[in-house]
């Protein structure tokens, strides 16, 4: 499985990618560049996206954007709408989770720092299976 990990903290992203690769055997690609995000997703080689909500300095179409903004844009694009998106953020209060999910149209939410990688991998597998089923049916 190919996972696109979008995070502005390169050290944290590398650690997360290593754990996902070791525990799940998945390939993880890391970026925080919106142009690269869309190009990679539209190419059709990504199965699921892990998206940090806070992406300081990220610009898309001439404006500052958050991970929630990018998730919403990916869900609005017919080429990428099918991709499961898991928001990952340190801003994990219960009320904010619901608001982030609704605004972004993301499929799931995990708090940072991720402490339960097995639960994350189970969520990834479940969302990809659901996405595959919806593409077939």
Strands (E), the chain: 2-6, 27-31, 48-52, 59-60, 63-64, 85-89, 108-111
Global pTM value? 0.93
Does domain 2-132 bear CATH number 3.40.50.300? no
Give the pLDDT confidence of 63-88 residue by residue, as tens digits.
Answer: 999 999 999 999 999 999 999 999 99
Helix, strand or coil, per DSSP, at residue 87? strand
Angle ∠(39,65,26) on CA atoms, nearest 5: 45
Q: Where are the domains of the chain?
A: 2-132
In terms of DSSP bridges, do strands 2-6 and 85-89 run parallel, antiparallel, or are they unpaired? unpaired
Least confident of 38-42, 93-97, 102-106: 93-97
């Amino acid at each position: 499985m190919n996972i696109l990990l979008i995070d502005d903290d390169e050290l944290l992203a590398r650690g997360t990618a290593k754990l996902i690769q070791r525990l799940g055997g998945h390939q993880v690609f890391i970026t925080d560049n919106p142009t690269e995000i869309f190009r990679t997703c539209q190419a059709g080689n990504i199965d699921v996206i892990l998206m940090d909500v806070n992406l300081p300095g990220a610009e898309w179409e001439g404006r500052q954007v958050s991970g929630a903004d990018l998730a919403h844009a990916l869900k609005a694009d017919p080429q990428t709408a099918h991709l499961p998106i898991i928001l990952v953020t340190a801003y994990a209060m219960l009320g904010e989770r619901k608001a982030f999910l609704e605004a972004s149209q993301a499929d799931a939410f995990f708090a940072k720092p991720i402490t339960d990688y097995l639960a994350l991998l189970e969520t990834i597998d479940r969302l990809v299976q659901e996405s595959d089923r919806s593409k077939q049916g």
